[in-house]
Amino acid sequence: MIPAVRKLYNEQFTPEQYQAFLAGIADDTGEAPAFRVAETPVFVPAALGNKLVQACEEIVDVLLRPDFKTITRDAIPASLKVPHENDHPHFIVIDFAVCKDAEDHLVPQLIELQGFPTMLAFQEVMARRFKTHFNIPAGLSNFFNGLDEAAYYQLLRDMIVGPFAPEEVILLEVKPEEQKTRIDFHSTEKNLGIKTVCLTELIQEGKQLYYIKDGVKTRIRRIYNRIIFDDLQHQAESLGAHVNLFQELDVEWITHPNWFYRISKYIMPFIHSDYVPKSWFLHELPVVPADLENYVLKPLFSFAGKGVLIDVTAADIDAIKDPENWILQHKVKYAPAIETPTGPAICEIRMIYIWQDGSARPILVHNLARISKGKMIGVGFNSQDTWVGGSCCFFETGDTK
């Protein structure tokens, strides 16, 4: 999206560089990604970068409302509430589509947000490997707020491991070796020294949790949580015996599971910004718009694009039996903003925040990108294309020549 940088990158790109890039990722993490990694990063010009930051900070202002927990009291399904919720999430990710306004300027439009971690360790690996194998100008950065690789990982250690010994902290997931994001688990283990543990491996004694590390039963003081609890609920019967995470347990959560639901598409109707599409809870919709072709219908308690109706009809709305669990959102039109050798592509940009205990506001630290040439953005929809998939952004911070 920075024309001169894009042109030079495309001209200098070779398939051999790309294969060396992928091999470098595998060397760093111990395995190849289980999803497609794009041939290119996203080069974000300063004007768009400033709008992305502005949009994020306007959303953070909503999260800081003194009545935030009140307005989101119905965001957590009763069956998914976990005890001992803390005051704020430790991680926030905010996803934007890259679009164009009426003046043909690139602008962000909010797609989704979550109080949940993302590929925090792997994104640094990917960005570093892009810089190693391709010509990324010095005036571009994948970090924010003055961070570099060393400071970023120290921040992650402070946030995730904190005052505990690394063996007292685990990354918790359901069947982690079956997850497409497992490359991030491996990167986290390597850089933070904590172990990835499957839910079925937990041992409960009273309110305390343990796991077996190197043959020794080890107390768990803190959980870096990567489980999405509605997914867990759907899988529970097939998992066999496992600890019930919905009970009171003597353990710290980073971040607490309830924040996945409080900070989600549920809060979109409360956010008023030029960069947030107008949204309504379906049961509060004053009138069904005549131009439904310009709207999408989203279930509140389904994630990763599941259940979204892109081509909405009045009959679809009439058929909804639980309108309080849906939002109608103005449709976002992605701009084919990335020129590639095999045709233009669209993208989403995820802005990654960390919120340390004791801090007044979360801080922006890193990013993630998804590039697509189809109707859907997720990396799972792009297996047949090239120059698409998971990626990262380099933001213009200085001279890019």
Write the single-letter amino acid at 308. V
Closest by CA position to 115, among listed 265, 281, 274: 265
pLDDT per residue of the chain (401 residues) written in tens, 0 to 9: 899 999 999 999 999 999 999 999 999 999 999 999 999 999 999 999 999 999 999 999 999 999 999 999 999 989 999 999 999 999 999 999 999 999 999 999 999 999 999 999 999 999 999 999 999 999 999 999 999 999 999 999 999 999 999 999 999 999 999 999 999 999 999 999 999 999 999 999 999 999 999 999 999 999 999 999 988 988 988 999 999 999 999 999 999 999 999 999 999 999 999 999 999 999 999 999 999 999 999 998 875 557 889 899 999 999 999 999 999 999 999 999 999 999 999 999 999 999 999 999 999 999 999 999 986 565 455 557 899 999 999 999 977 76
- Asked if residues 174 and 199 have their Cβ atoms less than 8 Å apart, the reply is yes
Q: Which amino acid, one-letter code, is at 311?
A: D
Distance of CA 325 to the CA centre of its chain: 22
User: What is the value of pTM for the model shown?
Assistant: 0.94
Q: Please give the structure tokens belonging to residue 24.
A: 């470098």
